[in-house]
Amino acid sequence: MVFIAPTADVSPDAEFGEGTKIWHLAQVREGVVIGVNGIIGRGAYIGSQVRLGDNCKVQNYALVYEPAAIGDGVFIGPAVVFTNDTHPRAVEPDGTQKSASDWTPVGVTVRDGASIGARAVCVAPVTIGRWALVAAGSVVTQDVPDFALVAGVPARRIRWVGRAGVPLEQKDGVWVCPKTGEEYVEDGDILREADK
């Protein structure tokens, strides 16, 4: 069953997987596809043609502009913004107003399991890697590797995190999750699961 709050503005052209919930004042545009068990919070905006995988949470007042592509199990925190214009202007150099046909939107890509903290801004085009964690209030201007914890303005990697989102601890040449015991191997600026 899909739940859509009576006050949500949802295009009849949008598609939803079983168990999806769209809350009060959210706007979901035409061509959006949301997988199973999606949650779109109060006042969130999902731009046209955006794709969200299964089990995604988009928290209150987040703005996910097209053509964003969101993997499975992604968390997008309150008031997060995904931009889509690399050279934004309201007018042309001669002062005439720009229209939608005067620019080409670019998107933010978020891979499976990643989390974007509250009020972070992701400046397209960037890719947030699998199981990465963007700290609240960060401004992401470069791609984020898998399992990276990034923070700041502009965001920089400050730690590695595992699938549980907990900072990893280095032991005997491998990185270990203190919550799950999973092990990870670092190779330069890349982290991967030890058994893969």
66, 137: one domain: yes
81, 178: one domain: no
Contacts of 63 (CB under 8 A, 6+ apart): 44, 45, 80, 81, 82
For the annotated catalytic residues, the residue numbers are 87
98, 174: one domain: no
Residue 3 one-letter amino acid: F
109, 183: one domain: no
106, 140: one domain: yes
How many Å apart are CA 99 and CA 116, to the nearest integer? 30
DSSP H or E stretch at residue 34? strand 33-34
Task: Summarize pLDDT for 101-153 with one digit per residue, the tens.
Answer: 888 999 999 999 999 999 999 999 999 999 999 999 999 999 999 999 999 99
pTM, two decimals, is 0.95
DSSP H or E stretch at residue 6? none
- Report CA-CA distances (Å) from 50 to 31, 97, 110, 159: 7, 26, 12, 30
Q: How many domains does the chain have?
A: 2
Domain span including residue 172: 162-196
111, 132: one domain: yes
CATH of residue 127's domain is: 2.160.10.10
Task: Summarize pLDDT for 153-193 with one digit per residue, the tens.
Answer: 999 999 999 999 999 999 988 999 999 999 999 998 899 99
The candidate with the shortest Cα–Cα distance to 79, out of 124, 9, 132, 138, is 138
